[in-house]
Amino acid sequence: MTDFLSRARGALVGLAVGDAVGTTNEFKVAGTFKPITDMVGGGPFLLKPGQWTDDTSMALCIADSLLTMGHYDSFDVMERYQRWFSKGYRSSTDRCFDIGGQVRAALFDFEHEQRVPVTAERSNRAGNGAIMRLAPVVIAGFEHREIREIVVTAGLSARETHYSVEAEAATEVFAALLVGALLGWAPEHIINVGWASTGPAFDEMAARVISTDPDERASWESETSGYIVHGLRLAVHGLLDFPSFRDATLAIANMGGDSDTNAAIYGQLGGAFYGIEAIPASWRSTLYQGEEIDQLARDLVDLRLEPPVTRFDEDLQGETPSSTGTL
């Protein structure tokens, strides 16, 4: 029987493995290339087998912040993202070679104003960057936290770079899926995320990305863009319609499009569901900094987190904003 630690390790290592497998076919159109059958590297950034992209870099920034600060800290997380962007911190090549437009814009805004006032306007864009990096937020101190608090903190983590109701709701839904997988629920129970609802936006998003119809889920394979809804749908498809972590990861990678991120999103969910032992040993041994990433997952699980620190004035519920913004 797969234990919780195996599932938590699977979530973080699965993220990085999916990223590394998926990068080969990033930006390609399905049907125009020979499908891959292994972790082979290459792709638009000419990476070595096992090297990963921005998905894993940002996840490791979050992991480092959680372990250093002892809580989720908006300010520290964003400062680490800036170090990655400007100095190559937590990059597999020692430089930032891939960054999403929403992330880049958010880092520019943070450089000029760290706090986000209640008057800030929400974006109507919802890229998948908000969920590609989520695993550390969910597994950190998992067994010592209220699971609904995990979902809310996941939403906060999305807002850092994707200040969008749609992106926040999608991230909360994905967090709920990860919670169910980490708890060892059956797939049909994992996708029943109503227990985690944070309101109408959550409910609407869940209805859009979760389907009990296998034909509908199969039709999602043509939707491989960087839109957060597409990435979340493919993760659900991978969980419900493929027999193993390996099969689902390769299938999503071979759909092309934003294949590294879509495979990283599935990798978190599949890794949490199956456990780390189900991730092919050859992929884990080839993964850049694979042993370190595995140890980070172990360390995150052992945390006992203090309440989150937010840079969003809307979270302070009428309190006078402080320099820390503790919730």
| Phi and psi angles of residue 117, each rounded to the nearest 5 degrees, phi first | -75, 160
- In 3D, which of 295, 173, 181, 159 has the Cα closest to residue 239? 181
* Average model confidence (pLDDT) across the chain: 96
Q: What is the pLDDT of residues 251-304, one digit of tens each?
A: 999 999 999 999 999 999 999 999 999 999 999 999 999 999 999 999 999 999
Residue range 210-262, pLDDT digits in tens: 999 999 999 999 999 999 999 999 999 999 999 999 999 999 999 999 999 99
* pLDDT class of 51 with cuts at 50, 70, 90: very high
Distances in Å between the alpha carbon of 292 and those of 261, 284, 302? 21, 11, 16
Please write the tens of the pLDDT for every residue from 73-85.
999 999 999 999 9
DSSP collapsed to 3 states, 70-110: CCCEHHHHHHHHHHHHHHCCCCCCCCCCCCCHHHHHHHHHH
- What is the per-residue pLDDT for 289? 98
Domains of the chain from N-terminus onward: 4-37+46-316 (1.10.4080.10)
Q: Give the predicted TM-score (pTM) of the model.
A: 0.96
Query: pLDDT confidence of 318, banded at 50, 70, 90?
Result: low
Q: Is 64 left (phi over 0), alpha (psi -120 to 50) or beta?
A: alpha
